[in-house]
Structure 1
């Protein structure tokens, strides 16, 4: 298959050379001839504790030069089926969440309209609301698959309705999410009030807490995710604090008792069959990272997301071929 945009040849130039793009993809601002795109959204002034996730996209890109293009688990090469670019960063406005939301929406709306699947790297978790606004214009209310230590459905922080702890309440209020098809996984830690978790359930989300996740096991959780989403268009958001801080110390609000990185990857790899239309990974804070292990996690999470897109593309192509054979059989 002749795909237009792939990646630079690793054996022609060393991984540590050249301009830093995700997986050495070409940095091209194009919506033509691509299946997916990587974009950074380096906004963090909606964080309520540690700031610095604005440097997350840069750190993930730097580490990603070590990420290869073939998934041995899925037995698929990304660029056997996909054309993709590093689109660069959304022009965020530090200190102005609403101007930043407008820019996210303006940047991503034509991406979703063309059926391209964006994978965004944050930034704090507030950015997902802007992504959902753009996606819902094309797909209507979405199924949300959220991996996180926190529900992020609080009504307000310090009197503010728009922070990294509120996006998935605002998304429901704006009609962007169908909570009957949405699920939050890995919720754990101390809370200010039971409503911090019960409020998400009252909004209609299914919630698998961290304790429950450990009790039922990964395969049961995967089955519940797939059952919940069904065939709805789905957006997957991955907050790195879903993973234990021993494996992801570089984040703004770490919570102990999370999964190991290998367990998070185990779950991600098995989410085939879901009709994903967009992804993001958020809350990577390089200044609190050690030996780039959180950036490594983020880069590999993005790779697994791209692998899921490749599997979807392969299955779609195979179904078209089978349909053609059936018509002419």
Structure 2
């Protein structure tokens, strides 16, 4: 037990000095289950659904794979100089049940269950599952906050119209979200996008929906601080949803995914960009498309676990958190000091 900033007694992770990391139930970061706490301010929830994939399946096994990969996480985050599990009550809410044979029914069920948790005052970091799940999660976020800003980390646009006539797939959630008015078209960005397209119409449609793009090549050429400045300016103080497809990482860093593309971001770049979102009004996050069958040496699961950990830290710190100083290293926080050429919007 620990005492939080508001005086509440918080239940933290299992003590690794008393119980070996490989023992016990596989909750995320060995956190308590949601039924073991009076109230969860933040919750990790699994959504083991992958009926919307267009290539390699297997992301239905992602949530538990990421949980197992998170066993080595420790309670103090030195990169953000914060102990997220001591700032508020964080728990593992288990998995949301979704019909694997009826995508529309699954989407409705995910939105309903996520809304129930959010309505109880719990912010969610969801582990997929394929990217179809972002649509119901955005519906739930919209019910609570209205149209939200969106930062979409992905190798792909995911704003296509249909696959084989199907409107609800892992390649279409953000087109549907735009059509339903779930996202603010003035504050939506893709990050890490790359790879071949079907044609220039893909980009034309995407721009029509309001999306700007920071490609993986932009991240490499311009650097993390410049990219973070663009994203922060774009989002402002709006309620923000962060959706991260693990294939935003290069396959060298995350081979265990359904639609890998060469030329992606490194795990270091990805984590540093996420840390640069500190203090924004983040209302929910997801990490999707982890497919353990292709995850050699657990590289993808480990990367995804660290992404979830950074997301939890951002949510625990909350909106308005001051820029942090890393507890080790000589890094300097320069987020927000954008150059003239870093103005947000459009194709960057």
What TM-score results when the alignment is normalised by the length of structure 1? Answer: 0.92
Which region of structure 1 is more displaced relative to structure 2, 93-102 or 164-173? 93-102
Whether 1:102 and 2:108 are equivalent positions in the alignment is: yes
Q: In structure 1, what is the Cα distance between the partners aligned to 2:231 and 2:118?
A: 23
Q: In structure 2, what is the Cα distance between the partners aligned to 1:239 and 1:103?
A: 21
Partner of 2:57: 51
Identify which of 173, 176, 193 aligns with 1:187: 193
Q: In structure 2, what is the Cα distance between the partners aligned to 1:246 and 1:315?
A: 33
Identify which of 24, 27, 33 aligns with 2:39: 33
**3-state DSSP of counterpart to 1:38:** strand
**3-state DSSP of counterpart to 1:179:** strand
Whether 1:169 and 2:175 are equivalent positions in the alignment is: yes
Q: Call closer, same or farther: CA 1:32–1:177 in 2, change over 3 Å.
A: farther
Q: In structure 2, what is the Cα distance between the partners aligned to 1:81 and 1:314?
A: 15
**3-state DSSP of counterpart to 1:118:** strand
Whether 1:257 and 2:260 are equivalent positions in the alignment is: no
- Displacement after TM superposition at 1:30 (Å): 7.7
Task: Give ranges in structure 2 of 5+ residues lacking alignment.
Answer: 323-348
Partner of 2:276: 270
**3-state DSSP of counterpart to 1:69:** coil
Per-residue CA deviation, residues 285-312 of structure 1 (Å, 9 max, x unaligned), is 0001111000000100000001112222
Q: In structure 1, what is the Cα distance between the partners aligned to 2:283 and 2:37?
A: 15
Corresponding pairs, count: 316
Q: Is 1:70–1:77's contact at 8 Å kept on the other side of the alignment?
A: yes
Task: Give ranges in structure 1 of 5+ residues lacking alignment.
Answer: 317-329
**3-state DSSP of counterpart to 2:181:** coil
- Displacement after TM superposition at 1:198 (Å): 2.7
Partner of 1:222: 228
Whether 1:11 and 2:17 are equivalent positions in the alignment is: yes
- Displacement after TM superposition at 1:32 (Å): 4.7
Which region of structure 1 is more displaced relative to structure 2, 107-116 or 8-17? 107-116
Q: Is 1:82–1:313's contact at 8 Å kept on the other side of the alignment?
A: no
Q: In structure 1, what is the Cα distance between the partners aligned to 2:36 and 2:174?
A: 30
Partner of 1:141: 147
Q: Is 2:278–2:321's contact at 8 Å kept on the other side of the alignment?
A: no
Matching of residues 283-302 of structure 1 within 5 Å: 283-302=289-308
Q: In structure 2, what is the Cα distance between the partners aligned to 1:268 and 1:42?
A: 24
Q: Is 1:4–1:33's contact at 8 Å kept on the other side of the alignment?
A: no
- Displacement after TM superposition at 1:15 (Å): 0.5
- Displacement after TM superposition at 1:238 (Å): 0.6
Q: In structure 1, what is the Cα distance between the partners aligned to 2:285 and 2:203?
A: 23
Q: Is 1:30–1:87's contact at 8 Å kept on the other side of the alignment?
A: no
Whether 1:196 and 2:194 are equivalent positions in the alignment is: no
What TM-score results when the alignment is normalised by the length of structure 2? Answer: 0.88
Q: In structure 2, what is the Cα distance between the partners aligned to 1:39 and 1:241?
A: 20
Q: In structure 2, what is the Cα distance between the partners aligned to 1:290 and 1:201?
A: 36
**3-state DSSP of counterpart to 2:34:** coil
- Displacement after TM superposition at 1:40 (Å): 0.3
Per-residue CA deviation, residues 234-253 of structure 1 (Å, 9 max, x unaligned), is 00011011000000000000
Q: Call closer, same or farther: CA 1:200–1:32 in 2, change over 3 Å.
A: farther
What is the RMSD computed on CA atoms of the aligned residues? 1.6
Q: In structure 2, what is the Cα distance between the partners aligned to 1:98 and 1:59?
A: 26
Q: Is 1:76–1:310's contact at 8 Å kept on the other side of the alignment?
A: no
Identify which of 59, 64, 72 aligns with 2:70: 64
Per-residue CA deviation, residues 105-151 of structure 1 (Å, 9 max, x unaligned), is 11111222233210000000000001011110010001001111111
